[in-house]
């Protein structure tokens, strides 16, 4: 059974730092890996999707990588800003219906 | 571009009452999903619909029914609400299939906050 773990559960860093959020999964037969951002009281916003044939994706200051052999994905945020404060969730896809979410990392960027 | 739209955004029910959450997407996606999000439990799949005319149970389907009315709309019904169904409900959609066009990227609505007293 696929399990997705995100560590740490919460992270606070000063503005301007580069940081890495981690996502681990137990089943290496993963199809897609998607990172989301969730602001308080809001829905999930898609940040990056890494498809099965890809190893990383980039969007602006964000870079996500996927290593199926080690069961890990990382989300790298460069030059963090207070506006990056949110909860970040990763989701591992085994199929169209088997999409397992991690519990998220609550990120706080201090001005 | 509206994306995924859910109604209502907030609802308070008494135990035993029924209600339907509505979801519509305008991205021509074939797959639609209903999730619930609870503190400490993360996001859990209630039901999904891989394509128009099909629905399947997810991880936590008890107490819920769904209808895939057409390609755009997917509704979630609580027949007899219970306090344990107090949660935030999210509808999502994606394109799943074969070929480069079918990325499977999930898009979410803003959520429906339901309280059952």
Tokens of A14: 């000063």
**CA-based nearest distance A14→chain B, Å:** 27
pLDDT band at B16 (very low <50, low <70, confident <90, very high): very high
- Asked whether A71 and A26 are in contact (CB, 8 A), the reply is yes
| Contacts for A24 with CB less than 8 Å, ≥ 6 apart | A4, A5, A6, A7, A71, A72, A73
Answer whether B48 sits within 8 Å of A51, measured CB to CB: no
Report the Cα A82 to chain-centroid distance in Å: 18
Q: Which residues of B touch A47 (CB under 8 A)?
A: none
pLDDT digits (tens, 9 = 90+) for A82-105: 999 999 999 988 776 778 899 999
pLDDT digits (tens, 9 = 90+) for A6-42: 999 999 999 999 999 999 998 877 888 999 999 998 9
pLDDT digits (tens, 9 = 90+) for B29-79: 989 999 999 987 789 999 999 888 899 999 899 999 999 989 999 999 999
Q: Is A101 on the interface with B (CB under 8 A)?
A: yes
Give SS3 for B84. Answer: helix
Answer whether B50 sits within 8 Å of A97, measured CB to CB: yes
Rounded-to-integer distance, Cα A47 and Cα B42, Å = 18
Outline where DSSP puts E strands in A1-111: 4-7, 10-14, 19-25, 32-38, 44-50, 56-59, 62-67, 72-77, 86-93, 99-101, 105-110
- The DSSP annotation for B2-39 comes to --EEEE-SEEEE-TT--EEEEEEE-S--SEEEEEEEET
Answer whether A44 sits within 8 Å of B108, measured CB to CB: yes
User: Can you tell me which residue has the tokens 């897609």?
Assistant: A32
Tell me which residue in B48, B50, B109 faces A43 most closely, judged by beta carbons: B109
Tokens of A51: 């498809």
Q: Which residues of A touch B4 (CB under 8 A)?
A: 43
Give SS3 for A6. Answer: strand
pLDDT of residue B99: 54
Q: Which residues of B touch A97 (CB under 8 A)?
A: 45, 48, 50, 56, 58
Q: Which residues of A touch B94 (CB under 8 A)?
A: 96
Answer whether A93 sits within 8 Å of B104, measured CB to CB: yes
Rounded-to-integer distance, Cα B81 and Cα B84, Å = 8
pLDDT of residue B24: 97
Rounded-to-integer distance, Cα B49 and Cα B54, Å = 6
- Asked whether B64 and B57 are in contact (CB, 8 A), the reply is no
pLDDT tops 70 at residue B103: no
pLDDT tops 70 at residue B98: no
């Amino acid at each position: 059974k696929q399990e997705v773990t995100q560590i740490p559960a919460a992270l606070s860093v000063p503005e301007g730092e580069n940081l890495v959020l981690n996502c681990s999964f137990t089943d290496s037969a993963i199809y897609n890996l998607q990172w989301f951002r969730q602001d308080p009281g809001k829905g999930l916003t898609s940040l990056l999707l890494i498809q099965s044939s890809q190893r990383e994706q980039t969007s602006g200051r964000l870079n996500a990588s996927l290593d199926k052999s080690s069961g890990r994905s990382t989300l790298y945020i460069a030059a963090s800003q207070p506006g990056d404060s949110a909860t970040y969730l990763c989701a591992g896809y085994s199929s169209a219906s088997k999409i397992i979410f991690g519990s998220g990392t609550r990120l706080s960027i201090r001005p | 571009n509206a994306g995924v739209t859910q109604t209502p955004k907030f609802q308070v029910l008494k135990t035993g009452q029924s209600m339907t959450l509505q979801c519509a997407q305008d991205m021509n996606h074939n797959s639609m999903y209903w999730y619930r999000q609870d503190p400490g439990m993360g996001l859990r799949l209630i039901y999904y619909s891989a394509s128009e005319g099909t629905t399947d149970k997810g991880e936590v389907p008890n107490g819920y029914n769904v209808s895939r009315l057409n390609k755009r709309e997917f509704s979630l019904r609580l027949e007899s609400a219970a306090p344990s169904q107090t949660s935030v409900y999210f509808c999502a959609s994606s394109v799943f299939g074969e070929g480069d066009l079918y990325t499977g990227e999930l898009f979410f609505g803003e959520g429906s906050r339901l309280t059952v007293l």
